[in-house]
Chain A
Amino acid sequence: MTQDEDMERVDRHALALTIWLAAGVVASTLYHYGVRAGGWPFIVAAFAVIAAAFAGHVIVNVVFRSEFSVRERALGLVCYAVLLIIFGLATLVSSDFANRAFLPTSAGLVALLAVLVFSMVVKSGVRSSFEAFDIIRSFSAHDAWANGGDRAKGGARE
Chain B
Amino acid sequence: MTTLALAAFAFLFTVSIYLAVLSGRRLRPEDFLDAGDGLPAWALMFAGAGVLIGGLGLQDHLLLTAMYGLQYSHVALGLALSALCGSMAHKRLWIAARAMRTSSPIEIVSAYYDSVTIRIALIAVALIFALPFAGHMLALAGDLVAMATDGAIGHGQAVFTLALSLFLVSALGGWRGAVLVVAAQSFLLLALLLFTPLFMAGADERLAVLASGPSALKGVLGDQIPGVMQYSAGIGKDVAAAGVWTTLTIVAAGGSLIGVVLSPAFGFLTTTTRLRAGLAFQQVWMIAGLTTGALLIASPIIAAEIAAADPSGMAAGAPSVAGLAGRLAGLDSLAALAFLLMLFAAMQIVVVFFVSAAGVMIAGDVVGRYLVPELDGDGRRLAARIALAVLYAAVALVAAYAPLSAAIVGSVALSLSAQLLPAFIGLCWAPWISRQAVVTGLIFGTMLVLFTEPPGLVAFEGLFLDLPWGRWPLTIHSAAWGLTFNVAACLLTALFTRLGPERARREVLHGVFRRVSPATGRASRLRTAKWSLTLIWTFFALGPGAILGNAFFSKPMFTDNEASLGVPSLWVWQIVFWFAGVLLTWWLAYRSRMAVVEEAAIPAIDLAPPHDLLGRRRAPEWLALMIARVSSR
Minimal Cβ-Cβ distance residue in B for A15: B42
Asked whether B332 is an interface residue with its Cβ less than 8 Å from the other chain, the reply is yes
Q: How close is B333's CB to chain A, nearest CB, in angstroms? A: 8
Q: Which of B552-592 contact A (CB under 8 A)?
A: none
Complex contact A18–B202 (CB within 8 A): no
Complex contact A22–B187 (CB within 8 A): yes
- Report the separation of the CA atoms of residues A28 and B191 in the bound assembly, to the nearest whole angstrom: 13
Q: In the assembled complex, which residues on chain B have CB atoms less than 8 Å from the CB atom of A98? A: none
Q: Which of A1-54 contact B (CB under 8 A)?
A: 3-4, 6-7, 10-11, 13-15, 17-19, 21-23, 25-26, 28-30, 32-33, 36-38, 41-42
Q: In the assembled complex, which residues on chain B have CB atoms less than 8 Å from the CB atom of A7? A: 26, 36, 38
Asked whether B229 is an interface residue with its Cβ less than 8 Å from the other chain, the reply is no
Q: In the assembled complex, which residues on chain A have CB atoms less than 8 Å from the CB atom of B199? A: 29-30, 33
Asked whether B268 is an interface residue with its Cβ less than 8 Å from the other chain, the reply is no
Q: In the assembled complex, which residues on chain A have CB atoms less than 8 Å from the CB atom of B15? A: 17, 21
Complex contact B334–A33 (CB within 8 A): yes
Range, interface on chain A? 20 to 34
Complex contact B22–A13 (CB within 8 A): yes
Q: How close is B53's CB to chain A, nearest CB, in angstroms? A: 14
Asked whether B127 is an interface residue with its Cβ less than 8 Å from the other chain, the reply is no
Complex contact B191–A25 (CB within 8 A): yes
Complex contact B184–A17 (CB within 8 A): yes
Contact among A11, A23, A41 for B40, CB-based, below 8 A: A11
Contact among B190, B195, B202, B337 for A38, CB-based, below 8 A: B202
Q: Which of A44-76 contact B (CB under 8 A)?
A: none
Asked whether B46 is an interface residue with its Cβ less than 8 Å from the other chain, the reply is yes
Complex contact A11–B332 (CB within 8 A): no
Complex contact B192–A14 (CB within 8 A): no
Q: Which of B1-54 contact A (CB under 8 A)?
A: 15, 18-19, 22-23, 26, 28, 36, 38, 40, 42-43, 46
Q: In the assembled complex, which residues on chain A have CB atoms less than 8 Å from the CB atom of B331? A: 33, 37
Complex contact B184–A29 (CB within 8 A): no
Complex contact A25–B192 (CB within 8 A): yes
Asked whether B180 is an interface residue with its Cβ less than 8 Å from the other chain, the reply is yes
Asked whether B183 is an interface residue with its Cβ less than 8 Å from the other chain, the reply is yes
Complex contact B332–A19 (CB within 8 A): no
Complex contact A37–B26 (CB within 8 A): no
Q: Which of B167-197 contact A (CB under 8 A)?
A: 180, 183-184, 187-188, 190-192, 195
Listed in ascending order, the chain B residues whose CB lies under 8 Å from chain A are 15, 18-19, 22-23, 26, 28, 36, 38, 40, 42-43, 46, 180, 183-184, 187-188, 190-192, 195, 199, 202-203, 331-335, 337-338, 341
- Can you show 8 pairs from A to B with CB atoms below 8 A apart? A11-B43, A18-B187, A18-B188, A22-B191, A25-B191, A29-B195, A33-B199, A37-B331
Given contacts A7-B26, A23-B191, A33-B199, 11 further A-B contacts (CB under 8 A): A4-B38, A7-B38, A14-B22, A14-B23, A18-B46, A22-B192, A25-B188, A26-B191, A29-B199, A32-B333, A38-B203
The 10 lowest CB-CB distance pairs between A and B, nearest first, are: A22-B191, A33-B332, A18-B184, A11-B40, A29-B334, A22-B188, A32-B334, A18-B187, A14-B180, A29-B338
